[in-house]
Homo-oligomer: A and B are copies of this chain.
Amino acid sequence: MRQRFPEQFRVEKFVTDVLSDSSLSAGFQEYDGPVIEPLALFAAKSGGELVGRQSYSFTDRGKREVILRPEMTPSLARMVASCGELQLPVRWFSMPLCYRYERPQRGRVREFLQFNLDILGSNSLASELEVILVLNGIMKTFKAPSSIYRIGWSSRRFMTDALSRCGVKEELQSSVFSAIDKRDKMKEDEWADYLLQACGSDTEVAEKVAFLVLVESLSDSWLVSLMAESSAFREVQKFDQLLKKTGISSAEFSPGVVRGLDYYTGIVFELMDTGSGNRRSLCGGGRYDNLVGLFGTGRISGVGFGLGVLTLTLFLESYGLIPESVKQAALADVYIAVASPSVVADAGLLAEFLRSRGVRVMMDVSGKKLGKQFSEASRNRISRVITVGENEVQKGIYRMKNLSDGKAAEGSAEELIRVLR
């Protein structure tokens, strides 16, 4: 279970702050939904496995079948559907805690923060472009060079058309999609067998599908002739041009990217580490057309992505992109050392005054000797110590020592604030 000591918390906060700030900087607004949701909300749309063995579901005291949300999108869809007066499009993001009951492993825990960003109510490819711009902006803010990550993308609509042109029968589409999604998790020959089976043991079809998945360029002549006159192919070409024109060099058309969740219908994408350290996708997303409609309003199309904060943090750490200053932050600007118990209240008054002027102040509460209080300041990486004793209180003049260079300043509280700035 997720437990964060302060140093770990600072790292997580560094990561989530970049995610929030990048979202706000693009006009997205934050929202949140309940952790405990009706089981039925997820049973319909997330696929059986997730809701079955892999969830925290239980019956509450009011005899309701509930679940600790495994993901956010169904709650988002219900929230958007519930406010009829909402003017579209909406740009929303969230940083929910989500739950999954499975064996914990690296980057995979039972309680996890999952960043979500969505645009609802726009059919234009500008939405897909915008969410990928935000995602790419996030990576740039973390100073991740574009060589270490890849945004692989494709389209469900395009792949549905392409699979059918490869000869996949309609009733086998969903199992072929699922086989394609599992490609990275299996050995090559194992996967070939798995795919063949998904294709109804039709060798010719399976070969075409395997070939399709390996296509790397939209101008591949086999692909162009396979997809002649396909509107889904035209959409994919158009989106490719948009990405190229905005110079997102890490974006790559990859027919093998189909994303596991059932609800995607259009463009899909994922963020991958190009190195070998983090094999899971850092983020997955795409367009879903039929989700909000489940909750009663008309069809509202959405585009969005989810990103695991822990997976991203491990990725950033493995490339040295979490600044040491985040872990080793000074806990305050000044430490107030208290020379005797008789001046505790005076120290408190001084602390309050400095804090009200924007200075971060740690006040001694240990009651130990002055020397130990100075060590306490160092231990907390605080470089300045103001000593408060009876003399100082009487005169209103304090001595502030700089522990890094040993120099000292003397003056009233006002004057010391000036030194601090």
Q: Which of A127-182 contact B (CB under 8 A)?
A: 127, 129-130, 133, 136-137, 140
Q: A101-B60, A101-B61 are in contact. Are A26 and B363 (CB under 8 A)?
A: yes
**Is the CB–CB distance between A26 and B362 below 8 Å?**
yes
Pick from B68, B246, B363, B379: contact of A345, CB below 8 A: B246
CB atoms of A34 and B2 under 8 A apart:
yes
- Alpha-carbon separation in the docked complex, A380 to B89 (Å): 11
Q: How many residues of chain A get a CB closer than 8 Å to chain B's CBs? A: 87
* Complex-state Cα separation, A18 to B3, whole angstroms: 24
Docked CA distance A37–B3 (Å): 11
When C-beta atoms are compared, the residue in chain B nearest to A2 turns out to be B34
Beyond A3-B32, A6-B30, A355-B137, whether A246 also contacts B348 by CB under 8 A is: yes
Cβ of A364: which chain B residues have Cβ within 8 Å of it?
126
- Selected from B1, B33, B346, the residue in CB contact (under 8 A) with A36 is B1
CB of A27 within 8 A of CB of B349, answer no
Q: How far is the CA of A367 from the CA of B24 in the complex (A)?
A: 22
Within residues 192 to 239 of chain A, which ones have a CB less than 8 A from any CB in chain B? none
State whether the Cβ of A83 lies closer than 8 Å to any Cβ in chain B.
Answer: yes
Contact with B along A346-363 (1 / 0, CB 8 A): 111101100110111111
Which candidate, A117-125, A269-277, A400-408, is the interface stretch facing chain B? A117-125
Q: Tell me whether A365 and B119 are in contact in the complex, defined as CB-CB below 8 angstroms, given that A246-B345, A346-B245 are known contacts.
A: yes
Q: Can you tell how many copies of this chain the complex includes?
A: 2
Closest B residue to A5 using CB positions? B31
Residue in contact with A363 in the complex, picked from B36, B130, B358, CB distance below 8 Å: B130
The answer, yes or no, to whether A316 is at the interface (CB within 8 Å) is: no
Given A345-B242, A365-B119, decide whether A380 and B27 contact each other with a Cβ distance below 8 A: yes
The residue on B at minimum CB distance from A1 is B34
Q: Answer whether residue A9 sits at the interface, using C-beta atoms and an 8 A cutoff.
A: yes
Rounded to whole angstroms, the CA-CA distance of A346 and B362 in the bound complex is: 50
A246-B349 CB under 8 A given contacts A31-B6, A97-B97, A344-B129: yes
A331 within 8 A of B: yes
Complex CA–CA separation, A22 to B361 (angstroms): 10
- Chain B nearest CB, measured from A398 CB (Å): 17
Q: Report Cα–Cα, A184/B47, bound state, in Å.
A: 51
Q: Which residues of B contact A110 (CB under 8 A)?
A: 36
B124 A367 Cβ-Cβ under 8 A: yes
Q: Which A365-388 residues sit within 8 Å CB-CB of chain B?
A: 365-367, 379-380, 382
Chain B neighbourhood of A91, CB < 8 A? 362
Q: In whole angstroms, what is the CA distance A345 to B124 when docked?
A: 12
A319 contacts chain B at the CB level, 8 A cutoff = no
Q: Let me know if B351 and A26 touch, CB within 8 A.
A: yes
> Within the assembled complex, what's the spacing in Å between the Cα atoms of A19 and B3?
21
Known pairs A34-B3, A36-B1; A27 contacts B361 (CB<8 A): yes
Residues of B within 8 A of A10 (CB): 29-30
**Which A residues between 1 and 28 are near B, CB-CB below 8 angstroms?**
1-6, 9-10, 13, 22, 24-27
A-B CB contact pairs (8 Å), 10 listed: A34-B111, A36-B56, A60-B101, A89-B365, A124-B341, A124-B344, A124-B365, A126-B367, A246-B348, A247-B349
Closest 4 CB pairs of A and B: A27-B362, A245-B345, A1-B34, A6-B29
Query: Chain A: residues with CB nearer than 8 A to chain B?
Result: 1-6, 9-10, 13, 22, 24-27, 29-37, 53, 56, 58-61, 68, 79, 83, 87, 89, 91-92, 97, 99, 101, 110-111, 119, 122-127, 129-130, 133, 136-137, 140, 241-242, 245-247, 331-332, 335, 338, 341, 344-349, 351-352, 355-356, 358-367, 379-380, 382
Extra contacts, 8 of them, besides A129-B344, A129-B348 (Cβ < 8 A), are A4-B31, A4-B33, A6-B30, A36-B56, A36-B68, A137-B356, A242-B348, A245-B349
